Amino acid sequence: MVACVFIATRLGEGPALHTSERMTTTALPPIPPFGRPLRDPSDPALLAFKASSIGGALSVLDVAGAIRKGTWPRITFAVLIAIVSTSVMPIGFLLGWVGFLIVWELLLRIWLENKILLPIAARSQERGFVALAAIHFVGASAYTLFSAVAWSTNTALGMVVATAWVCGSANHAFVYFSSHRWMLLSCVVPLATCALIAPFTAAGFTTTAITGVMVLTGLMIAAGLFGYDRRVLLSLLAKHAAARLSAEQANAAKSQFLATMSHELRTPLNAVIGYAELIEEETAGAQEPLADDARKIRESAGQLLGAIDAILDLSKLETGSTALQRERVDAAIVLTQLRAAAAPLAARNNNTLRVSETTPLGEADIDHMRLHQALMQIVANAAKFTQNGEIRIAASRTSDGGRARLVFEITDTGIGISAEQQARIFEPFVQVEDHEARRYEGAGLGLTLVQRLARLMGGDVTCQSTPGIGSTFTLHVDAGPA
C-alpha cells in the first residue's frame, strides 16, 4: 500500500494542464447500503455504457464509481468463500484475510480514492486511471492472496477452491476492465503471479505443479477470450444504440421541421383563401369566369391547407406535444356536429349520408375537438372513394373493465381495400392507389392521423373491407368511468 501511495503521489506532481484541459473534480458516489439492488438507473456503470453508446467514453470517476457499487457483493462473497474453506485453510489466516478486506473496502480504498485519486483525475484522465490502477492493485493482490494460500495447502479441495477463485477473478478482470490497460494489469498481474508460482510452492518442480500452472494459465487465457467476446458484443450493442438514437434524433428534427414549415405555410395560404373568397363574392354574376377561377384557387388552397394541417398535427403527435382537453359533455353533440360537417363531403360525389345512434351515448369525458377531427378524417376518406353510394355512421356506447367506451362505425359502399393494402393504410404517406395514374388526391396522412389520435384518446381504429363492395372503419375511444 505504501508503494501505491507513492506512485499515486508522484502522478499528482506532473505539470499542470492548460486551463481549458482541466476537469472539474467531482465527488465519487458513496458505497450503497447493504442489500440495495445493483440494477439502478443511476448506476455509474449503466450511465457510462449509455454514454459510450452515443460516442462518449468511460471516465475514471465512472469506473471508480462502478467499483464502489460492487463493494458489498465482494465482501459478502469473500466471507462465504472463507467459511467454505475453513476445512482446508487456517482459520487465523481466513479471519485476518477477511478482516483486511473489510477494512480495505470500507476505509482504506475510500480514503485513497478521495484524497489521492480525485485530485489527480481533475488534472488528467490518463493519470487518474494509472492512480486508480495503483490503488486497485493493492486490493487485487489481497484478494489473490487467498488463492495462493488455498493452493499451498496441497489438498484436492484447496486446489479446487484456488482454481475456482482464479477463474472467477480472471473473468471479472477481463469482462470489466479490458477496456483500459492499466486497470486490466492491476488485476491480471497478481493473478498471473499466483498462477505461475503457487503450484510450484506447493508441490515443487513436478509434473503435478506444471499441470497446475498450465490449467491456471489456460483458465486466464479463456477468461481473456470471454472478455474479448463481451467487448465485441457490447460494441455491436453500442453501435445499435447509437444508430437508434441517431434515427430518433433525425425523426424528432424532421417532425420539428415539418411543424415549423407548416406554420410558415399556413399564414400565406390563409391569406390566399381569404382573398380568393373576396374575389369570388365580388365577381359572382357579373364576371362569372373570374369568379370560377377564384373558386378554383380557393378550393385548391383549401386542399393544400388541409394537407398541411394534417402534417402539423402528425408532427405534434410524433413529438408528444399534443395534449388532450377532456371535458364532460353530451356525446350526442358529436354526432350532431358530425352530421352537419359531413353532409357537404358526402354530397360531392352524390352519396347518401346516414347517421344513427344505436345505443344512447350519454355523457362522456372526451376531447370533443380531437374526436371530431378523427371522425371527419374517416368520413372524408369514405366520401372520396365512394361515388353514387352510401355512407353510414353508427355510434354506440359500451363498457370494458369499469371504463366507458364510445364506438363509431363508418361504413361506405366505395371501391374497398385489398387485404394487402389494409396492412399498410395506417402508415404515413400510404395511398390506396399508389401507382402514378391514381385517380384520388391526398397525401396519405389522414388514416395515420386517425390511428394516432385514437390511441392518444385511449382507443384504436380498425378496418374491414372487401374490394368492390366497400369498407367499414371502427373507431373506439375511452369515455371515462362507466
Q: pLDDT tens-digit profile of 28-65?
A: 767 767 655 544 545 444 444 444 433 345 788 888 88
Q: What is the pTM of this model?
A: 0.49
267 and 335 assigned to the same domain = no
Residue 235 lies in a domain: no
306 and 350 assigned to the same domain = no
- Axis-axis angle for helices 368-384, 446-456 (nearest 10): 150
353 and 280 assigned to the same domain = no
171 and 36 assigned to the same domain = yes
CA atoms within 13 A on the CB side of 281: 6
Residue among 292, 293, 297 nearest 273 (CA): 297
288 and 355 assigned to the same domain = no
Chain-centre distance for alpha carbon 4: 41
275 and 406 assigned to the same domain = no
Count of domains forming the chain: 3
Give the span between the Cα atoms of 440 and 436, in whole angstroms: 11
Give the span between the Cα atoms of 31 and 106, in whole angstroms: 8
Residue 222 lies in a domain: no
Beta bridge partners of 357: 395
Tens of pLDDT, residue by residue over 263-295, are 777 788 888 888 888 888 888 877 888 888 888
51 and 135 assigned to the same domain = yes
CATH number at residue 463: 3.30.565.10
Give the span between the Cα atoms of 453 and 445, in whole angstroms: 12
31 and 119 assigned to the same domain = yes
Domain hosting 412: range is 327-433+441-481
C-alpha dist (Å) from residue 405 to 32, 358, 474: 47, 14, 12
279 and 187 assigned to the same domain = no
Residue among 172, 169, 173, 199 nearest 185 (CA): 173
Q: How confident is the model at residue 432 (pLDDT cuts 50, 70, 90)?
A: low
263 and 358 assigned to the same domain = no
Residue 209 lies in a domain: no
Residue 450 lies in a domain: yes
Residue among 407, 292, 415 nearest 356 (CA): 407
Q: How confident is the model at residue 243 (pLDDT cuts 50, 70, 90)?
A: confident
Residue 469 lies in a domain: yes
> Do the Cβ atoms of 399 and 478 come closer than 8 Å?
no
Give the span between the Cα atoms of 391 and 112, in whole angstroms: 79
Single out the residue in 264, 297, 319 at which a domain terminates.
319
Q: Helix (H, G, I), strand (E, B), or coil: what is residue 310?
A: helix
Residue 200 lies in a domain: yes
